[in-house]
Amino acid sequence: MLLFVVVLVLVVVALVIYNMWINKKLKDFRNLNDKITGLNVLQDFMSTISEYSTVDDKIQKINDILIENYDIKYSTIVVFNGTEYTVKASNVEQKHWETLKNLHEEEIFADSISTAMPKYVTVNNEGERLPYQKMEFGRAKSAIFFPLYIDNVYIGYWIIESGIISAFDDMDTTILEVVKDNIISVLKTVEYQNVIENIVRVDKFSNLYTAEYLYGKGKEIIDKYITSTVAMFNIINIEEINDKYGRKIGNEIISKISEKVKENISSQYIFVRYMGPKFVIVFSGIDLDGVVAFIDELKEQVEKEAIKHEVKRKDGKSRVINIKPKLNFAVTTYYKGTALENVTKKLEEYLDSADANESDINNI
C-alpha cells in the first residue's frame, strides 16, 4: 500500500513538472509568435512607407495592418496638426468620427495625455456605455487610449475598441506599446512628406503645379511604372527678355510656353513649374530613347512661339518685334523607388552650370 502511495505521489509530481514544462513551452511559443508577428507588422509598415505615396494612404494602410494582424475590432488614429484634430485613419463609421476626434477633451483621458501613459476603459454590464460615447451604445464596450508623442511633442492619439466587455484584460500591453511606437515612427517618417503635400500650389503665370507636386501626388502616378524619363528645361534668355522688355513680357513668355507644352504632351505625363525659368516634364513609363525625338520636336515648336511687342524707335515711331524663348533641355532616367528629388537636383545642377548660350538636349 505504501509503495502504491509513493508511486502515485511520484506520478503526480511528474505530471505537475510536465504541466509546468508544457506551460513554459506554450509561453515561450506565444512570446516567439508575438515577436514574429511584431516583426511582420514592422516589415509591413516599412513596405507601406515605400509603396503608398500619399501620407493619408500610408496611415490608412498602417491602420488596416493593425486590425488584420492583432484582431482589433476598431482602430482609429487621430493626429493634431497644430490647429485641429483630424481622423487620419479609422474603420469606424464616419458618423462617429466627430466623437473620436474630440477624445482629448474627455476628462477620462486627460491624465493619459499629460503622462503619456495608455488608458484602459471598459463597462461592467451591457446596459452601460463608455464615458466618451455620446450617441452610441452597442458599438464599443471596452477601449485602450494611447497618446502619441514625437520627440516629447504631443501629436495625437491611437485608440482601439471592442464590442466585448473587458476585451483587453488579457492582452499583452507590451506588444501594444511596441505597435504604438511603430505608429509614431511611421508618422515621424512621413512628417516631411506631409509638409511637402500641404505646400503644393498652382503657379499663377504658368497655371502649373509647383515642384512640390512631383514628390507627393505626382510621384504616386510616376511610380506606377518601373522607369520613366525626366526632362528639365530652362528658358535661358528669360533674364535678357526681362531686362530689355520688362517682367510683364517675361511672364507672358512663361504662360505661352506652358500652354504650348501642355497642348503637346499626354495627360498621363507630369508637367510642373520647377523653379523660376525651369520646368520639369516626367514622361511616366516611357524610356529615354522613346522621348528624345519627341522633345527635339517639342523644343522646336515652343521656340517658334513669339510674343509680339511694340517698341518705340529713336525717331518717335514704333515697330512690332517678335520675342521668342530659347530653351536648354537635360533628360535622364528615373527608376521607381529611388529618390526623385535627387534626379531633379542633378538636372538642375547641370542646367545651372551649362554655358549661357547652350541650347540643346543633353542626356545626363
351-362 mean pLDDT? 80
Q: Which three cell numbers stand for residue 259?
A: 500652354
**The cell 471598459 sits on which residue?**
122
Which uninterrupted H or E stretch holds 288?
none
* Rounded Cα gap, residues 285 and 277, in angstroms: 26
**The cell 501613459 sits on which residue?**
117
Q: At what angle do helices 191-198 and 173-189 cross, to 10 degrees?
A: 40
Residue 218's SS3 state is helix
pLDDT tens track for 185-236: 778 776 666 665 666 788 888 888 888 888 878 888 888 899 999 999 999 9
Query: Is there a contact between 91 and 120 (Cβ–Cβ < 8 Å)?
Result: no
pLDDT tens track for 104-161: 999 999 999 999 999 999 998 888 889 898 776 668 899 999 999 988 889 899 999 9
**The cell 514704333 sits on which residue?**
318
Q: Which residues pair with 362 in a beta bridge?
A: 330
Greatest CA separation found in the chain? 138
Question: How confident is the model at residue 102, as a pLDDT?
Answer: 93
Determine what percent of the chain is predicted with pLDDT higher than 70: 78
Q: Find all residues with CB under 8 Å of 190, minimum gap 6, and list them.
A: 49, 55, 58, 59
* Rounded Cα gap, residues 153 and 134, in angstroms: 29
**The cell 521656340 sits on which residue?**
303
- The average confidence (pLDDT) of the chain is 81
* Rounded Cα gap, residues 180 and 287, in angstroms: 42
Residue 276 DSSP symbol = T
pLDDT at 21 over 70: no
Give Cα 83 to chain centroid, integer Å: 20
Phi, psi (deg, nearest 5) at residue 144:
-125, 130
* Rounded Cα gap, residues 300 and 317, in angstroms: 33
Report how far apart the first and last C-alpha atoms of the chain are (Å, whole number).
96
Question: How confident is the model at residue 97, as a pLDDT?
Answer: 92
Residue 211 burial (CB count, 10 A): 22
Question: How confident is the model at residue 15, as a pLDDT?
Answer: 54
Higher pLDDT among residues 280 and 171, named by residue: 280
Is residue 45 very low, low, confident or very high in pLDDT (cuts 50, 70, 90)? Answer: low
Residue 221 burial (CB count, 10 A): 17
Tell me the whole-structure pTM to 2 decimals.
Answer: 0.56
pLDDT tens track for 312-353: 666 666 777 788 889 999 999 999 878 888 999 999 999 998
Q: Which residues pair with 329 in a beta bridge?
A: 233, 361
pLDDT at 40 over 70: no
* Rounded Cα gap, residues 67 and 65, in angstroms: 6
